[in-house]
Amino acid sequence: MPSENLIEIRDLSFSYNARAILKGINMTMQRGKVVAIMGGSGSGKTTLLRLIGGTVSPFAGYVKFDNQVVHELNRNALFKLRRKMGMLFQFGALFTDLSVFDNVAFQMREHTDLSEAMIRDLVLMKLHAVGLRGAHQLMPAELSGGMARRVALARSIALDPMLIMFDEPFTGLDPISLSVIGSLIRRLTDALGTTAIVVTHDVQESLQIVDYVYFIADGVIAAEGTPKEVLETVKPFVHQFVHGEIDGPVPFHYPAADYQADLQLEENFV
Amino acid sequence: MQRTTMDLWVGMFVMLGIGALLILSLKVGNLGTYGAGQSYDLVGNFENIGGLKVRSPVKSAGVVVGRVTDIQFSLDTYDAIVTMRINGQYTFPKDTFASILTAGLLGEQYIGLDAGGDEVMLKDGDKIMMTNSAIVLEEMIGRFLFDKAAEEDDKGF
Amino acid sequence: MFKYLVSSIRHVGHGVIDSTWRLGYASRFFILVLLKSTTSLRRFGLVIRELYYTGVLSLIIILVSGLFVGMVLGLQGYETLQKFGSESAVGTLVALSLVRELGPVVAALLFASRAGSAITAEIGLMKATEQLSAMGMMAVDPVARVVAPRFWAGIISMPFLAAMFSVMGVFGGYLVTVVFIGVDEGSFWSQMQNNVDFRIDIVNGVIKSCFFGIAVAAIAVFEGYDAPPTAEGVSGATTRTVVTSSLAILGLDFILTAFMFRGIN
């Protein structure tokens, strides 16, 4: 009997060149849910995805995926684990030297012994799911940003993963593409029965599609809850974030020395 | 780019490359004259080899029949042991005469083989008994001057 | 003054430590690529694909340059040799220069700027656009899947390209001296064949080009993989590939020549 929780994160800490990025994060993600991780730019959201995918190792704490502690796995086991994950990179990260079809077929060819005819059917099914079956012969350079994102989405579900991670899926998209991607994320997770993590700072779009939200600020979880709870919250940070206010708990200024002292006004006049 | 066209181009590329290597070996180089490995070695002792080097040609009647492959100094006889590899299609009688000659006045030095009349032919590893050393220009001039001086002396008395 | 001296010494030390560290890092990467080459040898289709991009697409520049270099050699060689009445040796001059030196070296220099820079730019851009990370997340090792095939394609194409360069050069020399100027065709070829030795000249030339191939391919894939993931970083890495490869080729050429031809003539 598999446990209800696909991912458990406990006391996770990570620092980059002595700069602490995550300071003791605790998260739990149930199977079949869409979870959003929000936070300002540079708050360590992408690092969190990398830790789940095992491309970097934590400083302390652990990530448990499907009852396996990710950073304790050896290379082969880690690669086996990653086959159960799909990841959509910020700008799609399609292989520019392969056609749309070959991009989606990439993992099937690398990891399975399926016949070419079978792969063809599967790829067309995946592309149909994102509405781009007709574009399978195009090269990535011929796609618009939104289309590239959808192809990347089709590629990330190629092997029917247990978890799909979306790294800022809404960045740089027009409103139509944005809602298309948003609804695709929800529909595909429901249809495939997978779990999804959406890292984003697009509050309005993501609150419509997710089941649960975590806010990260300064390397810790600042707030969490269902979209409804988040919208009604009075916590200053979340309020600032959700409503996009310029100053608040997240200051406008990067921490600096005293302005006057920094400009060295006195010394210059000596 | 279709996979098959790419394969075709790469195939052509590799064939061209191998073709170029073959042309280099056969047309530009002397692989053809190695005679597909059919060659035999002869050895000769020379008092003085002058400017002879490894890879210098061995000629008979002006035709290149082989090359010098090794030059050693012998501690037994205090002369030079020259090994030459002769093309398998040429055989020479036992009493062949080997001399170190110079192409032109200042050209490269080579070994000239003058065939004798013996009915027994030289085999692989055989030694050429009759050799003639290189002519060293300084020695020749020195001897000439010495002879001249001697003549003058004779006249004086 | 003293402060300036200390800071410049520190500068030198910093440079030495930095470049040593980088060299060690590059060597480690080189070994890593070798260790992960089994995939590309098992799935040779990947290498064939890269052979197309590195080898076939370099053909035009190699063949045309070879032809012109040979023609110039023929012309210059003839001008000089005819003063000494030995213009029939022009075939030897052209062939020996090409087979021993110019073929491997110039072909490698052209290869570094044509294919080496392309390899660096491609890998660097794949890194910058997160394609390599995406591949890693798909449980496919980017070093085995992307780097190793390009590395081997570079090594395989180099000797072929160098040989084609030399052949085209000899043909160019033949065109100029025999066809245009009128040097005797028989003596052109026979002098050449008498003086170009298969084992000493041709085999050593091919060995040289193999070494150059390894150097260029290794530098190109390393610079690409190591490039900072920005447009600036990739363009800098591409330049470094061409500069470092060219220096490596010329330096290696001196070392190899010293080993190969010393004491023969």
pLDDT of A200 reads 84
Q: What is the rounded distance in angstroms from the CA atom of residue C7 to the CA atom of residue A2?
A: 63
Residue C12: what pLDDT?
Answer: 93
pLDDT in tens, A153-183: 888 888 888 888 888 888 878 888 888 888 8
Provide, rounded to the nearest whole percent, the portion of chain A with pLDDT above 70. 94
Are B99 and B26 within one domain?
no
Alpha helices in B1-136 (DSSP H): 3-23
Name the residue facing C48 among B7, B23, B30 (closest C-beta).
Answer: B7
Q: What is the pLDDT of residue C263?
A: 52
Predicted pLDDT at C265: 47
Q: Could you tell me if B119 and B139 lie in one domain? A: yes
Residue A26 is predicted with a pLDDT of 85
For residue B121, the model assigns a pLDDT of 86
pLDDT of residue B70: 85
Instruction: List domains and CATH numbers for chain A.
Output: 5-233 (3.40.50.300)
Nearest chain A CA: its distance from C212 CA (Å): 27
**Average pLDDT of every residue of chain B:** 82
Amino acid letter for position A93: A
Looking at the complex, does the CB of residue C46 fall below 8 Å from at least one CB of chain B?
no
B83 and B7 fall within a common domain: no
Q: Which two tokens stand for residue A33?
A: 């849910």
Task: Round to whole Å and give the CA distance between A207 and A194.
Answer: 19
Chains with ≥3 CB–CB distances under 8 Å to A: C
Interchain pair A91, C129: CB under 8 A: yes
User: Which string of DSSP letters, residue by residue, matches B88-116?
Assistant: TT---BTT-EEEEEESTTTS-EEEEEE--
Q: What is the mean pLDDT of residues B118-132?
A: 85
Whether residues B77 and B122 share a domain: the answer is: yes
Taking the alpha carbons of A183, A131, A85, C125 in that order, is the dihedral positive or negative? negative
Residue contact C193–B32, C-beta within 8 A: yes
User: What is the chain A residue with the closest CA to C145?
Assistant: A110
Round to whole Å and give the CA distance between B72 and B89: 26
Mutate: best of A80, A83, A89, partner C, most C CBs <10 A: A89
Are B65 and B23 part of one and the same domain?
no
* Shared domain check, B30 and B57: no
Q: Are residues B24 and B50 in the same domain?
A: no
Regarding whether B124 and B90 lie in a shared domain, the answer is: yes
Q: What is the mean pLDDT of chain A?
A: 82
Residues 6+ apart with CB under 8 A from B57: B64, B66, B67, B68, B110, B111, C194
Contact B20 C167 (CB under 8 A): yes
A189-227: per-residue pLDDT in tens? 888 888 888 888 777 778 888 888 888 877 788 788 888
The DSSP 8-state label assigned to residue C43 in this structure reads: S
pLDDT (0 to 100) of residue A269: 54
Structure tokens at A238: 């979340």
The answer to whether residue A1 scores a pLDDT higher than 50 is no
Using the predicted structure, report yes or no on whether residue B81 has a pLDDT greater than 50: yes
For A37, the token pair is: 């991780």
Whether the CB-CB separation of B9 and C56 falls below 8 Å is answered with yes
Burial C180-206 (b: 16+ CB within 10 A, else e): eeebeeebbbebbbbbbbbebbbbbbb
Q: Do B29 and C52 touch (CB under 8 A)?
A: no
Higher pLDDT, C107 or A44: C107
d(CA A152, CA B88): 69
CB contact under 8 A, C139 and A96: no
Query: Do B66 and B24 share a structural domain?
Result: no
CB contact under 8 A, B27 and C163: no
Interface ipTM = 0.82
* pLDDT score, position A266: 59
- pLDDT 10s digits, A93-151: 888 888 899 898 888 888 888 888 888 898 998 888 888 888 888 888 888 888 888 88
pLDDT tens-digit series, residues C97-154: 999 999 999 999 999 999 999 999 999 999 988 888 888 888 888 898 899 999 999 9
Same domain, residue pair B69 and B10: no
CB–CB contact B20 C160 (8 Å):
yes
Please tell me the total count of domains within chain B.
2
CA distance C258 to chain A (A): 43
Give me the residue from C137, C141, C145 closest to A53, CB to CB: C137
Judge if pTM exceeds 0.90. no
Q: Which residues contact C168 (CB under 8 A, 6 or more apart)?
A: C62, C63, C66, C67, C70
- Domain interval for residue B23: 1-34
B71 in the same domain as B4: no
pLDDT at B125 over 60: yes
B123 and B80 in one domain?
Answer: yes
Question: Would an 8 Å CB–CB cutoff place C161 in contact with chain B?
Answer: yes
pLDDT along chain C (265 residues), means of 10: 88 92 91 87 86 92 95 93 83 90 94 94 91 87 90 94 95 92 84 81 92 95 92 93 95 91 59
Are C73 and C89 in contact by the 8 Å Cβ rule? The answer is no
Say whether pLDDT at B64 is over 60.
Answer: yes
Asked if residue A37 has pLDDT above 60, the reply is: yes
DSSP H or E segment with residue A256: none
pLDDT of residue A175: 83
